Structure 1
Amino acid sequence: MSLDATFERVSLPLENPFTIARGTQTAAENVVVEITDEAGMTGVGGAAPSAHYGETADTVEAVLPDLLDAVERVGDPHALHEIEAELASVVNDNPAARAAVSIAVHDLAAKRLGVPLHRLWGLDPSAAPATSYTIGLDETERVREKAEAAVEAGYPVLKIKLGTDRDRELVDAVREAAPDARLRVDANEAWSPREAVDKSEWLADRDVEFVEQPVPAEDPEGLRFVHERSALPIAADESCVTLSDVPAIADRCDIANLKLMKTGGLLEARRLIAAARAHGLEVMCGCMIESNASIAAAAQLAPLLDYADLDGSLLLAEDPYDGVDLSGGEIRLGDRDRAGTGARPRSE
């Protein structure tokens, strides 16, 4: 079978500057992959590289020719296991680049069968949890305004970025603006273990659900210290990058947070979910700031999750791709006419 593959770099401005403990972002550099079969059917995937994990749009573009050559060598878009194994053998690192190719191949395979990807996997779309909507770091009044706007737009779950000397003030502002919302917080590795334990106490008083990555990933014993003493459940993000990390975090957290841009592909993401379940962990799927070219694929995993944090495309000023409807936080996977991941260029 003949497959033709192309890729394109896209710069995606954000609706508002997005700040976390590590810095501020005003645009996201994504790379979109398209793989077309001999009948002219095209699968779409996206890479949203993170410098924190050693990837940039430049590195993605550098390795994609080799990855796409590997797909063309396999030739069959339904040979998903063989393709992902080949991708990993060709490029060991660069998970966002491999994820873009994996997504595009999965999208093409499901389109060729005329079914949504979640249906190909036999998943129940009604089991998808609501996605959270993230409130980035900002001036306190601006954080309050963002929370009010998110509630007005119907989002029932808010995630608050923390890691400042105003953490308590920021959480109080969001709780006042959104008294009925489910709240989660994410420190992005900014706290010390003792600080995390202390903050968990007053966060619990404000009905926060859990704390994501309170301490640096380089401090696994600090994560254990927090997990054993925290008043709230702990989610591991930067400490849970690949499948092999799951056994190491199993006694250091309550929730494993996977991202396609960390796992390097959809099959590996599903393996990580299974491994986390086997170790007694709950599972969340998060994202970078990404186009629907990749968010739509992550949304297909939603019925396997306890929590979803898939708002990356919602933070963009404009997304060149349409995808799964996430308005109001609901992940709507029920459209059987939307074959593949659901990602489509908005021009279609």
Structure 2
Amino acid sequence: MTLDAEFETLSLDTERPFTIARGTTRTVEYPLVRISDGDGNEGIGGAAPTRHYGETAATAAAVLPDLLDAVETIGDPHALDRIERRLGEVVRRNPAARGAVSVALHDLAAKRAGLPLYRLWGLDPDRAPETCYTIGLDDVDAMAEHAREAVDRGFSTLKVKLGTDRDREIVRTVRSAAPDAALRVDANEAWSRADAVRMAEFLADFGVELLEQPVPADEPEALRRVYESAALPVAADESCVRLPDVPAVADRADVIVIKLSKCASLREARRMAHAARAEGLDVMLGCMVEAQPSIAAMAHLAPLAEYVDLDGSLLLADDPFEGVGMPGGEIDLAAVDRPGTGVRER
């Protein structure tokens, strides 16, 4: 079999400036990979590089030719284990670049099998949780308005970004604006241990159901202290990047967050989900602000998760692809009537 692979970098604007504790995103540079088999099948993949993990669109573009040469040399989209090992040998870092290749290969392999990806994996679409919708940092009143808009669009769970000196005001105001919504919060490593412990108590009083990455990832004992004292579940995101991190956080978190841009492949994401089960941890599937090729691929894994945060393409002004529909947060895998991830250009 002969595989032909190519890539380009798309520039995608956000619907509104998207701000977290580390900074603001207005435009996403998104590497897009296409792998075709010569029989009319094409796999489409993508992933969002992030500087937090030492990667940019430029570094992804620099390594993708070597990654795609390795794919073409092996020449079999079903040889996913062999290809994954080879990609890790070619490039040790750049998880988003490798993740984009992984998605394109899985999309192609499922198309060749004539099955949606979740069916190729044997997963139950009825077990996919709803995705939350993220409220980025902004003026407090603007955040409240964004929360009301999301609820009006049918989203019943909101994730609120924190990590400011206005965090308590934000929570009070958003809760008032969306009194019936389930709330989760994400501090993106912004708090000290003492602040996180105090905030956890405050958040529980406001009915917040999940606290994500309250302290820096390089302070594991601080995360343990928050986990041991918090009256609500604690999720490890930046503290849990790859498979070896899963057992390492098992005694300091209730939930792990799996992202393609961290773990570098869909196969690694599945391994992490199963390892979490073995450690008694719940799973959240997360994302960056990114387009449907990567969002849809991760959505096919949703039956393995208790929590889903896959709204990244909903935060774009215009996603050039359609894939897995998420009306009001529902991940409707059963409605995917095309093989592969279901992604196609609009």
Hey, what does 1:232 align to over in structure 2? Answer: 232
Matches of 2:218 and 2:200 in 1, distance apart? 21
Report the secondary structure of 2:19's partner residue. Answer: strand
Matches of 2:22 and 2:336 in 1, distance apart? 40
Shift of 1:189: 0.2
Report the secondary structure of 1:185's partner residue. Answer: strand
Hey, what does 2:94 align to over in structure 1? Answer: 94
Asked if structure 1 preserves the Cα contact closer than 8 Å seen for 2:336 and 2:342, the reply is: no
Matches of 1:83 and 1:294 in 2, distance apart? 19
Hey, what does 2:41 align to over in structure 1? Answer: 41
Hey, what does 1:288 align to over in structure 2? Answer: 288
Matches of 2:323 and 2:124 in 1, distance apart? 18
Shift of 1:73: 1.3
After superposition, what is the alpha-carbon deviation per residue over 1:224-254, rounded to whole angstroms, capped at 9, x for unaligned? 1111111211000000011111111110100
Letter in 2 for 1:201: E
Asked if structure 2 preserves the Cα contact closer than 8 Å seen for 1:9 and 1:29, the reply is: yes
Matches of 1:64 and 1:335 in 2, distance apart? 32
Report the secondary structure of 2:83's partner residue. Answer: helix
Q: State TM-score, norm by structure 1.
A: 0.98
Asked if structure 2 preserves the Cα contact closer than 8 Å seen for 1:70 and 1:87, the reply is: yes
Extract unaligned runs of 5+ from structure 2: none
Hey, what does 1:339 align to over in structure 2? Answer: 339
Matches of 2:94 and 2:118 in 1, distance apart? 25
Shift of 1:335: 2.8
Hey, what does 1:134 align to over in structure 2? Answer: 134
Matches of 1:220 and 1:338 in 2, distance apart? 43
Asked if structure 2 preserves the Cα contact closer than 8 Å seen for 1:215 and 1:223, the reply is: yes
Matches of 2:284 and 2:263 in 1, distance apart? 13
Letter in 1 for 2:2: S
Matches of 1:222 and 1:202 in 2, distance apart? 18
Asked if structure 1 preserves the Cα contact closer than 8 Å seen for 2:98 and 2:265, the reply is: yes
Letter in 1 for 2:40: G
2:116 is equivalent to residue 79 of structure 1: no
Shift of 1:173: 1.2
Moved more, 332-341 or 130-139: 332-341
Letter in 2 for 1:321: F
Please tell me the root mean square deviation across aligned C-alpha atoms, in Å.
0.7
Hey, what does 1:174 align to over in structure 2? Answer: 174
After superposition, what is the alpha-carbon deviation per residue over 1:35-82, rounded to whole angstroms, capped at 9, x for unaligned? 001112100000200000000000000000111111111111111111
Hey, what does 2:30 align to over in structure 1? Answer: 30
Shift of 1:336: 5.2
Matches of 1:335 and 1:201 in 2, distance apart? 41
Extract unaligned runs of 5+ from structure 1: none
Matches of 2:25 and 2:99 in 1, distance apart? 22
Matches of 2:76 and 2:318 in 1, distance apart? 34
Letter in 2 for 1:253: A
Matches of 1:154 and 1:171 in 2, distance apart? 20
Matches of 1:243 and 1:67 in 2, distance apart? 21
Hey, what does 1:324 align to over in structure 2? Answer: 324
Matches of 2:239 and 2:186 in 1, distance apart? 13
Letter in 1 for 2:58: D
Asked if structure 2 preserves the Cα contact closer than 8 Å seen for 1:21 and 1:163, the reply is: yes
After superposition, what is the alpha-carbon deviation per residue over 1:60-109, rounded to whole angstroms, capped at 9, x for unaligned? 00000111111111111111111111111111111000000000000000
Matches of 1:64 and 1:342 in 2, distance apart? 23
Shift of 1:342: 1.1
Letter in 1 for 2:25: Q
Hey, what does 1:161 align to over in structure 2? Answer: 161
Hey, what does 2:279 align to over in structure 1? Answer: 279
Hey, what does 1:107 align to over in structure 2? Answer: 107
Asked if structure 2 preserves the Cα contact closer than 8 Å seen for 1:197 and 1:231, the reply is: no
Letter in 2 for 1:292: Q
Matches of 2:136 and 2:192 in 1, distance apart? 20
Matches of 2:235 and 2:19 in 1, distance apart? 20
2:206 is equivalent to residue 206 of structure 1: yes
Shift of 1:293: 1.3
Letter in 2 for 1:230: A
Letter in 1 for 2:281: L
Letter in 2 for 1:120: L
Matches of 2:179 and 2:32 in 1, distance apart? 39
Q: Percent identity?
A: 64
Hey, what does 2:148 align to over in structure 1? Answer: 148
Q: Which ranges of 4 or more aligned residues in structure 1 deviate by more than 4 Å? A: none
Asked if structure 2 preserves the Cα contact closer than 8 Å seen for 1:95 and 1:264, the reply is: yes
Hey, what does 2:188 align to over in structure 1? Answer: 188
Report the secondary structure of 2:335's partner residue. Answer: coil
Hey, what does 1:53 align to over in structure 2? Answer: 53
Letter in 2 for 1:340: G
